[in-house]
Amino acid sequence: MSKTKTVYTCQACGYTSLKWLGKCPDCAAWNTFVEEVTGRKSVNKALSATDPVPLSEIILNTDNRISTHIGELDRVLGGGVVAGSVVLIGGDPGVGKSTLILQAMAQLLRDGSEKCLYISGEESASQLKLRASRLGIDSDNILVLSETSLEMILGVVKDVKPAVVVIDSIQTTYSEELQSAPGTVGQVRECSARLMIFAKKQNIPTFIIGHVTKEGAIAGPRVLEHIVDTVLYFEGDRSHSFRILRTVKNRFGSTNEIGVFEMTDSGLMEIENPSELFLRERPADAAGSVATATIEGTRPLIVEIQALVSPTTFGVPRRTSIGVDGQRVNLLLAVLEKIGGLHLGLTDIYVNVVGGLRIAEPATDLPILLSIASSLREIPLPNDLFVFGEVGLSGEIRAVN
């Protein structure tokens, strides 16, 4: 008979305590502890034990990557999904995570030789069929299971032996050995760890879909991101039609890689030339607009930085920046005032990277300064001007890679 243990887990950081606490001693969050009852059972008895193998005797399979036949997705995965790997795709609800995975499964299995198991915990089978019909997907090789119990899911996967498994989503999946609600820290940690072990043993690539919280963490604290092999963030704004798939962690490829998609009525379309998309609607002879270059992973991108400077109507001028670090912009404004001799104390300043892209490179210092000065003086910059460079606190322009 298994022993049970009651613990209290902070839903903000994952800290555990034997008693309830009003304030978390680790992250200082209030009223975040939830009671969880755990059972001490052996959950891996069904999995066969393996013996140690010398490194020199391990056979390296160079063909263990499976292409999704979606160029932008393969790019961020490092050339395809690795057999036995666990890939986490996070993003805001409704951004298109399920749509992307459903399209990837249809492309991945287009030769008809393998099957994919799509486990939906948020939608019924008929609702998923409606989504697939809208995308023009109708395949006998995509098996749909509407289930949230982890034990039932692992049993079905072991019987079906699919080529790829999709868990949608980790927030709705629960283990019967934990008496806590689905989506809690304990459930997310337990389910993710067991899925990881199962995927490695069965050599089945697994996609896990997770929603992000308002703090930007997947499924609450970042315990899930440390378990999986690859972490992808699917970013997008409802006011824009395109989406950005960003690599945060990848054990089998480069990080900070991005893929660009456009959301259409028929699903997601990959954008092979994102620079053209970002500059497609750039106004001609507009003050405060500057074109610059940035590197996202291994891909160079040409983007537009816009600035708007207007007289303030408040006691304290507003400084708003989207897509660039606000502290970096404040530092550059100080350089522009002291070294450049421009008076910005009575103006509101807004800086934006067009298209919703986020840039953290110091090479954008000079284009930010030029866009602010252009808007302040109302002097448009040439449309064929291309600017990049790091600006020091003494006003010098430094070379960048």
What is the spatial distance between Cα 26 and Cα 225, in angstroms, rounded to a whole number?
A: 19
**Average pLDDT for 150-163:** 93
* pLDDT the model gives residue 153: 94
Q: Answer whether the bond into residue 169 is a cis peptide, omega within 30°.
A: yes
Q: How confident is the model at residue 184 (pLDDT cuts 50, 70, 90)?
A: confident
Structure tokens that stand for 334 in this block = 């100080």
**Average pLDDT for 307-315:** 89
Is the pLDDT confidence value at 373 over 70? yes
Structure tokens that stand for 198 in this block = 């199962």
Question: What are the DSSP E strand ranges found in 218-332?
Answer: 230-236, 242-250, 258-264, 267-270, 289-296, 299-311, 319-322
More confident residue, 330 or 48: 330
Is the pLDDT confidence value at 64 over 80? no
How many C-beta atoms lie closer than 10 Å to residue 10's C-beta? 22
- Amino acid occupying residue 237: D
How big is the CA angle at 319 (ends 318 and 322), to the nearest 5 degrees?
A: 130
* pLDDT the model gives residue 1: 45
Is the pLDDT confidence value at 57 over 80? yes
**Average pLDDT for 369-373:** 95
Is the pLDDT confidence value at 199 over 60? yes
Is the pLDDT confidence value at 79 over 90? no
How many C-beta atoms lie closer than 10 Å to residue 114's C-beta? 13
* pLDDT the model gives residue 277: 79
How many C-beta atoms lie closer than 10 Å to residue 325's C-beta? 13
User: What digits encode the pLDDT tens for the residues 96-141?
Assistant: 899 999 999 988 877 666 889 999 988 888 999 998 998 888 888 8
For the four alpha carbons of 118, 121, 124 and 127, in that order, the dihedral sign comes to negative
Is the pLDDT confidence value at 86 over 90? yes
Is the pLDDT confidence value at 46 over 90? no
Q: What is the largest CA-CA distance in the chain?
A: 79
* pLDDT the model gives residue 113: 66
Q: How confident is the model at residue 370 (pLDDT cuts 50, 70, 90)?
A: very high
